[in-house]
Amino acid sequence: MNGRGDTMSRIHQRKQSHVDVALNKDISYHRSSGLERYAFIHNALPDLDFKEIDTSAVFLGKKIQLPLIISGMTGGHALGARINRNLAMAAEKTGIAMGIGSQRIALEHEDMHDMVSSSFDVRKYAPSIPLLANLGAAQLNKGYGLKECRQVVEQINADALVFHLNPLQEVIQGGDVDWKGILPKIGRIVKALDVPVIVKEVGFGISDEVGRRLDSVGVHAIDVSGSGGTSWAAIESRQGSMRRRMLGRRFWDWGIPTAEALQMNKGRRTKLIAGGGIRSGQDMAKSIALGADYCTMASPFLKAAADSPRKVMELILFLELELRTAMFGIGVKDLKMLKGTPSLRRLTP
């Protein structure tokens, strides 16, 4: 097999291995997202009809029934294709947004075009929802530019492009470690690309300083994706060389808890997305109250999608019920009232 084929094989195997580990191993942070440190003040006399509570939002110019985005997770292999298809079908039925995993493999291995691109080809299952393309920001230092960004957007007819930030993961897995000068390159893509650009972490969190820098180049939204959910250091600790495993274990709990990352970044002109350890409708409600405009989830959806579209739909519908119940419990009728509500209090130690 030639060098190009070897690279393809490594990327393909790594992607499938990540999914296998995420489905079958303990890779959660030992530390929490910080959301449990907050509680709502119960309203025993809400002046509301539960049936009239509105959980809908507008994201990328499209109405969604919940302020919820299925986080981009996988693609580029057969299992990823099935997972993405199941996610897309459920997202379309329930009216929420969806991202897909990094599309780098589809750009760099056109010789495997049919197999690879089919795993990302979800628009046919979800014609109306906001759909997010995905590339690693580190690739902007590997020759990627506007052409490649347009390609991944066009490949899935996406409504936005997500750049994911994963410098710590790249070091642990021995990947792309040159991150010098990435921000101005993101800024140039923001100005030239025909769709909005969103920037997300993969689970280690975005600080106030990084949030300000991203805001300064005009990104549409920041997904803080803090610690408290799936640890990518933990995933890397489950595979590969002894060095990789040891380093992954040492940095298993590295990161900014999600609640803290939200507090650091609220009030910016960019839209704010809460991710990292969001596991319930109450977590969603707390995140919106802490300043988020939308929430994103990964692990619960991955496990449901490995089963069937029906399992994904059941999860989404229960999240909606739980969010509506939390809103009813504090007497707010819509997300505008929920955001910044004084009914959320930080618990004393």
Domains annotated for the chain, with CATH where assigned, are 3-343 (3.20.20.70)
DSSP state of 272: E
For 315-321, the CB contacts below 8 A with 24+ separation are 316/66, 316/68, 316/90, 316/91, 316/94, 316/96, 317/94, 318/281, 319/66, 319/68, 319/280, 319/281, 319/284, 320/55, 320/65, 320/66, 320/94, 320/281, 321/281
Q: What is the pLDDT of residue 346?
A: 96
Predicted TM-score (pTM) of the model is 0.93
Q: What is the pLDDT of residue 78?
A: 78
Q: What angle do CA 339, 334, 224 make, to 5 degrees?
A: 35
- 227, 232, 233, 325, 331 from 172: Cα distances, Å: 17, 9, 7, 41, 46
Q: What is the pLDDT of residue 100?
A: 94
d(Cα 43, Cα 154) in Å, to the nearest integer? 48
Size (the chain), residues: 349
Q: What is the pLDDT of residue 12?
A: 53
Q: What is the pLDDT of residue 19?
A: 67
Q: How many CA atoms lie within 13 A of 249 on its CB side?
A: 8
**Parts of the chain with a pLDDT under 70:** 1-19, 21-22, 76, 110-117
Q: What is the pLDDT of residue 122?
A: 94
- DSSP H or E segment with residue 135: strand 131-136
Q: What is the pLDDT of residue 1?
A: 37
